Amino acid sequence: MITLNINGKTHELDVEPEMPLLWVLRDRLELTGTKFGCGVAQCGACTVHIDGEAHRSCSTMVGDVQDREIVTIEGLPKDGPDSKVALAVQAAWQKLDVVQCGYCQSGQIMSAINLLTDNPTPTDDDINASMEGNICRCGTYVRIRHAIHEAAKDLA
Amino acid sequence: MLIQKSQTIAPSRRSFLKGAALSTSVFVLGSFVPLGRFAAAEGEAAAPAAVFDPNMFLRIGSDDSVVVLCKHLEMGQGVSTGLATLVAEELDADWSKVGFDFAPNNPKVYNNLFFGPYIGTGGSTSMANSWTQMRQVGAAARSMFVAAAAKQWNVPASEITVLNGVLAHASGKSARFGELVEVAMQEAVPTAVALKDPKDWKYIGQQLPRLDSKGKTTGTAVFAIDIRRPGMLTAVVARPPQFGGSVGSFDDGAARKVPGVVEVVEVPSGVAVLAKDSWAAMRGREALKISWKADKAETRSTDAIVAEYRDLAKTPGLPAAKKGDAAAGLAGSDSAEAEFLFPYLAHAPMEPMNCVIELTADGAEIWAGSQFQSIDDYAVSQVLGTTPDKIKIHTLLSGGSFGRRANASADWVVEAAQIAKAMKTKAPVHLLWTREDDIKGGFYRPMALHRVKADVKDGRVSGWQHTIVSKSIITGTPFEPMMVKEGVDATTVEGVADTPYAIENFSVEVHNVKTAVPVLWWRSVGHSHTAHVMETTMDELAHKAGADPLAFRLAHLKDGSREAGVLKLAAEKAGWGKEMPKGSGQGIAFHHSFGSYVGMVSEVSMVDGTLKVDKVIAAVDCGIAINPDVIRAQVEGAIGFALSAVLRNRVTLAEGVVEQSNFDDYEPTRIKEMPAVEVHIVKSAEAPTGIGEPGLPPLAPSIGNAVFSATGKRMRSLPFDLGALA
Ligand code: FES
Ligand code: FES
């Protein structure tokens, strides 16, 4: 039995400890907002927060994160003081219509929240460095950069 | 699904708009039925009490919701927002109430008007083919509401105004669409509608927000990969390591022992492992022992294939275009023949190929990011021994495509159907391709080799001889009669044979190669290589003539043409010809594709021997700009998508085996490489043309020409030989 704390809820799961968190989320818990893009920690589509840090769930074994707080895009706080960064990021994304196909965007947003939580006034270089692991095949990068600045302004 | 139910009702008023600017195979306003009845019959409690459904493209609820049925696949290009904009404009709807659903796969209603009787999205045709049709849908519905209100209020219809979903009369009477649904749907469908004068447009030309933004920023948007059906199994397939290979024999003993694995079946494409979850299926596949047959396979390496291309290019090919006398024009020329080489490229859409299939009593239901529904349903019906009308496709948002999901052989849905057919357990199947399957799986942009000999005399191109070697995309597909003439595939030569440059002595020849490597259209198709050859060569000739590259191009284009327009606009906005710092340069290029015109200036700099693309300034003429922000996004996206093909992407073979496997060795553009982008849109009154693809072709040559300006080195092949710059 593996015990996971996901989006504030405890789940007891009969899975092997080596099973990647991504597939537990998607195939066992039907939390499909977290996406499969590469499976090898190259694209960031599967990004979730573990104890407040962005991690690649495709390359995280569930056995290693049993006593940790896991948050997926579905579990982002929607109100209260903890929700400020997430809501600002999502609002900026919507205001600038960042998305195209949208498939990478859950991961982009999870990484952007992580960046702005650590660094409320990122420069372009900071953004490039911290978002480098998130591929967008549709090439929405111009707007991702812009939206992160927009969210930062909003939070200031 | 209400709308699907309604289609079983025989349309009763098909005559509407006969003879209007529509293909006769389309009826715009056809049947409508009071859908409340079906809601009751289906037990769909959530359905609005009454739904105004004047035709198959629009549902208006008593809650004022306006749902546009989207006949095209939304793969990121913004088509759902675009089609809804056209309907909402003529309907005078309240945009905040507008949404969309994907249309079912009924080709009688939802065909692409440019594709004849087929449903499909591609060739950047979505807005162009729907431009009149969707506005007529909105206008017809509006007039039915107005007629209904006129009767109810006992006033002339001409005195009723409609604004943001509210009908009003000077007497003070007013009503929302939702309040009039019941009566409006009793109105006769008008036999003709007038469309608005462009000066009265409120939505067309504005930056309406995308309808799919919210779902895609909250993790709630549903892609095919997110479909979960009761009892569903995930399938992954072990496919031959070489194209054209097949299964010899296999041992699935170990695979079946992997916890979660339920079944292993052989299908024409390989061996499928079915399991309770994706991870178990992947582990099961790893445990398979398969011996492959390679007698019909492509077993050569890339070098050997290139050598064949080179040999062919030196022999006479099939004529594709001819003007004047190219050889005479080049008599006495000292120009060397230049070679341009382009590799196989994978589309690598972010959402890997996948779909769900569930067999029914007489056919199947499919959930997929289906792009050619009429090909997918036909191909699956062939596998299952039934007819396409028994295959119900639920089209879903797709995580990119770039051409991959529009396949004449419907490879992945066919594979899913073959698995479902071969299984003992008749569970729903989710076929999943991993990223490795995708990169190694073929259907690539064909490898292409161009040889060009061209020269200038007195400031003009004096002769141009051009040979292209490639594998035809179209031959052997249902599109062959339309797109292959005398052995020449239009997609091999587009952008060269039809060049807008006035070149008096011009010849283009083609060689079609045969290989088991499957090829497919990749965003902008032939233009993805032809533009680079044309625009690099024009640049070289300008320099040879001692002319400014912009002026040289303009001298070969018609004055006042749309081609000249975008070149001039891009140049003006970029400050063309301005002083650039040492090690930096500007490059210009232009291309016409999918009915649209794009001019581009790129600015690059060399930093410690490394190429950096700093800025791209684009000018676009795609006719009326239905949504300028979506147009800008498509051009920005095309640049981000194509930059990695300029810098590094290639699929290569070693003894037939693909050498790349995932995003580490087939790496898309990353954010730190993304240049600043400016997109300027030419104001136009022409009907809208494509924008999903046209932003791509001029990118590589504009960067290559900038590299030449910065370093004096020519980048003729893609990806660039960056080592030569270091
Ligand atoms: S799926 Fe995890 S990084 Fe790509
Ligand atoms: S929006 Fe399509 S991959 Fe990023």
Query: Is the model more confident about B136 or about B343?
Result: B343
| CATH class assigned to A2-75 | alpha beta
Q: List the single residue in A with minimal CA-CA distance to B638.
A: A139
What one-character DSSP code corresponds to residue B546?
Answer: T
Query: A142-146, B21-25, B260-264, B388-392 — which is least confidently predicted?
Result: B21-25
Query: Is the model more confident about B260 or about B21?
Result: B260
B398 contact A CB<8A: yes
Asked if B567 and B591 count as a contact pair (C-beta separation under 8 A), the reply is no
Compute the distance between CA of residue B364 and CA of residue B417 in angstroms, rounded to an integer: 9
Q: Kindly give the pairing relationship between strand B246-251 and strand B261-267.
A: unpaired
In this prediction, residues B453-468 reach a mean pLDDT of 97
Nearest to B239 by CA among B681, B656, B725, B692: B656
pLDDT of residue A5: 98
pLDDT tens sequence across B379-399: 999 999 999 999 999 999 999
pLDDT tens sequence across B147-204: 999 999 999 999 999 999 999 999 999 999 999 988 998 888 887 889 999 999 999 9
Quick one: which ligand is closest to A58's CA?
1
- Express as a percent the part of chain A with pLDDT over 70: 100
Compute how many other C-beta atoms are within 10 angstroms of the C-beta atom of residue B320: 23
Compute the distance between CA of residue B223 and CA of residue B354 in angstroms, rounded to an integer: 10
| CB–CB contact B352 A127 (8 Å) | no
> What residues pair up with A132 in beta bridges, in sequence order?
none
Quick one: which ligand is closest to A60's CA?
1
pLDDT of residue B188: 86
Answer yes or no: is the C-beta of A36 below 6 A from any ligand 1 atom.
yes
Name the residue of B213, B217, B350 to mutate for ligand 2: max ligand atoms within 8 A of Cβ: B350
| ipTM of this predicted structure | 0.98
pLDDT of residue B425: 81
Which residues of A are less than 8 Å from B637 in CB distance? 100, 138-140
Compute the distance between CA of residue B399 and CA of residue B349 in angstroms, rounded to an integer: 6
Query: Minimal Cα–Cα distance from A83 to chain B, Å?
Result: 13
Tokens of A76: 């982002």
In this prediction, residues B614-632 reach a mean pLDDT of 97
Q: Is the pLDDT of residue B28 over 60?
A: no
pLDDT of residue A73: 98
Q: Is the pLDDT of residue B20 over 80?
A: no
In this prediction, residues B264-284 reach a mean pLDDT of 98
pLDDT of residue B51: 44
Query: Minimal Cα–Cα distance from B646 to chain A, Å?
Result: 14
- Give this prediction's pTM: 0.93
Query: Is the model more confident about A140 or about A82?
Result: A140
- Mention every residue, 6+ apart, whose C-beta is less than 8 A from residue A80: none
Q: Is the pLDDT of residue B7 over 70?
A: no
What is the CATH architecture of A81-155? Answer: Orthogonal Bundle (1.10)
Q: Which domains does chain B have, with CATH numbers?
A: 2-208 (3.30.365.10), 224-295+353-432 (3.30.365.10), 302-344+444-724 (3.30.365.10)
pLDDT of residue B55: 59
Please count the residues of chain B.
Answer: 726
Give CA B723 to chain center in angstroms.
33
What band does B47 get if pLDDT is binned at 50, 70 and 90? very low
Q: Give chain B's mean pLDDT.
A: 91
Q: Is the pLDDT of residue A103 over 60?
A: yes
| Domain map (residue ranges) of chain A | 2-75, 81-155
What band does B43 get if pLDDT is binned at 50, 70 and 90? very low
pLDDT of residue B115: 83
pLDDT tens sequence across A23-48: 999 999 999 999 999 999 999 999 99
Nearest to B501 by CA among B526, B529, B468, B530: B530
What band does B37 get if pLDDT is binned at 50, 70 and 90? very low
pLDDT tens sequence across B9-18: 222 222 222 2
Range B170-174, long-range pairs (CB < 8 A, 24+ positions): B173/B149
Quick one: which ligand is closest to A37's CA?
1
| CB–CB contact B663 A103 (8 Å) | no
Q: Which element (helix H / strand E) includes B428?
A: none
pLDDT of residue B724: 93
Give CA A119 to chain center in angstroms.
16
Q: Is the pLDDT of residue B139 over 70?
A: yes
Compute how many other C-beta atoms are within 10 angstroms of the C-beta atom of residue B723: 7
pLDDT tens sequence across B342-376: 999 999 999 999 999 999 999 999 999 999 999 99
Query: Is the model more confident about B106 or about B541?
Result: B541
Q: List the single residue in B with minimal CA-CA distance to A35.
A: B351
Query: Is the model more confident about B418 or about B55?
Result: B418
Kindly give the number of the ligand 1 atom that is closest to the alpha carbon of A37. Answer: 1
Q: Is the pLDDT of residue B49 over 60?
A: no
Query: Minimal Cα–Cα distance from B498 to chain A, Å?
Result: 29
pLDDT of residue B42: 30
In this prediction, residues B240-268 reach a mean pLDDT of 98
pLDDT tens sequence across B644-666: 999 999 999 999 999 999 999 99
In this prediction, residues B90-101 reach a mean pLDDT of 96
pLDDT of residue B73: 95
Give CA A30 to chain center in angstroms.
16
pLDDT of residue B33: 25
Tokens of B138: 């909105």
CA A150 to centroid of ligand 2, rounded, Å = 20
Question: Which three-class secondary structure string do you get for chain A?
Answer: CEEEEECCEEEEECCCCCCEHHHHHHHHCCCCCCCCCCCCCCCCCCEEEECCEEEEHHHCEHHHCCCCEEECHHHCCCCCHHHHHHHHHHHHHHHCCCCCCCCCHHHHHHHHHHHHHHCCCCCHHHHHHHCCCCCCCCCCHHHHHHHHHHHHHHHC
Q: Is the pLDDT of residue A72 over 80?
A: yes
pLDDT tens sequence across B292-303: 999 999 999 999
